[in-house]
Amino acid sequence: MRSFAGRDILSLKEFERNEFFHLFEIADRLEPIARERRNTDLLAHKTLVTAFYQPSTRTRLAHEAAMHRLGGHVTGFSDAKMTRAGDFYQESIKDTVHMLEYYGDVLVMRHFEQGAPHEAAKWASIPVINAGDGWGEHPTQVLTDLYTVLKEKGTLDGLTFVAIGDHRMRTMHSLGYALSQFDAEMVILSPEEMAPLPEFLAELDDKGTNYRTVEHIDEVIGEADVIYMEPVIQPDYTIPVHERPDDYGVTPDNYKITQEVMSRAKGDSIILHSLPRMDELLPEVDDLKHARYWQEAYNGVVMRMTLISSVLGAWE
């Protein structure tokens, strides 16, 4: 297995099965720290730098919370407009990263451009973690999600993942790549205009991901082990700052999870949603035994503790 020390976490495309399980074992070791709300000194002399060019609640704060739990320090920005990258100078990623690498030991970047963290990694002498790049990927989210599935179902094999929502989304890409490493089926459900791009499906074919497409949740709700949700009402992720238009619409029933839909689901199926949500996942579902998105959010801290400590070589 490739070492995680010093490694960039940019994509799940090349992740191997044993690397997933290696991280999940470390997550199990670190989880009690988060559960007991303790801070340790594992990374007492290390600093995390966050560079967020796009809004985030969970990903940025989960990384920061993770670093605090590990006893490290945190610096960075959550609004590029207040940096030279976002003002008159439009400072390049190369120049920005050449600064940031002196300010800390690991860099977490979210950017509206696909491939921006990869560009950062070319110039950074410290590990770079992709916190979401345009429509590209969201590897730390999907590692969190698969860890949640493993904890809840006891396995990642033999499961049917019904992935509902905008399949141009970065989480759907990372999920599709990751599932190639497991004996799992990905059932794709999206509006036509949000269908996976042909080049992405070609990659899934190359990697051997087992997938099929359906048109309505009613076709598959009885088969789902994991209901993996993203909104179909989305901002354009390639735009750095957006304002929600008044006519953003409502989610068609095909892509919606309600109490009534869940009454036809397997008793032990689970619902994941990386959040934020719109009307595709109604608050009435929060009270059902199937809802696991709050557990998923908690695991987000555990997985970021795992990734930060791993790329900083704490387990070597």
Q: Nearer to ligand CP by C-beta: 54 or 269?
A: 54
Say if residue 235 is preceded by a cis peptide, omega within 30 of 0. no
CB of 139 to ligand CP, least distance (A): 11
CB of 297 to ligand CP, least distance (A): 8
Q: Nearer to ligand CP by C-beta: 74 or 201?
A: 74
CB of 282 to ligand CP, least distance (A): 18
Q: Nearer to ligand CP by C-beta: 101 or 140?
A: 140
CB of 98 to ligand CP, least distance (A): 26
CB of 52 to ligand CP, least distance (A): 9
CB of 132 to ligand CP, least distance (A): 6
Q: Nearer to ligand CP by C-beta: 108 or 194?
A: 108
Q: Nearer to ligand CP by C-beta: 256 or 273?
A: 273
Distance of CA 190 to the CA centre of its chain: 19
- The residue ranges that bind ligand CP (CB under 6 A) are 56-59, 132, 141, 274-275
Q: Nearer to ligand CP by C-beta: 97 or 229?
A: 229
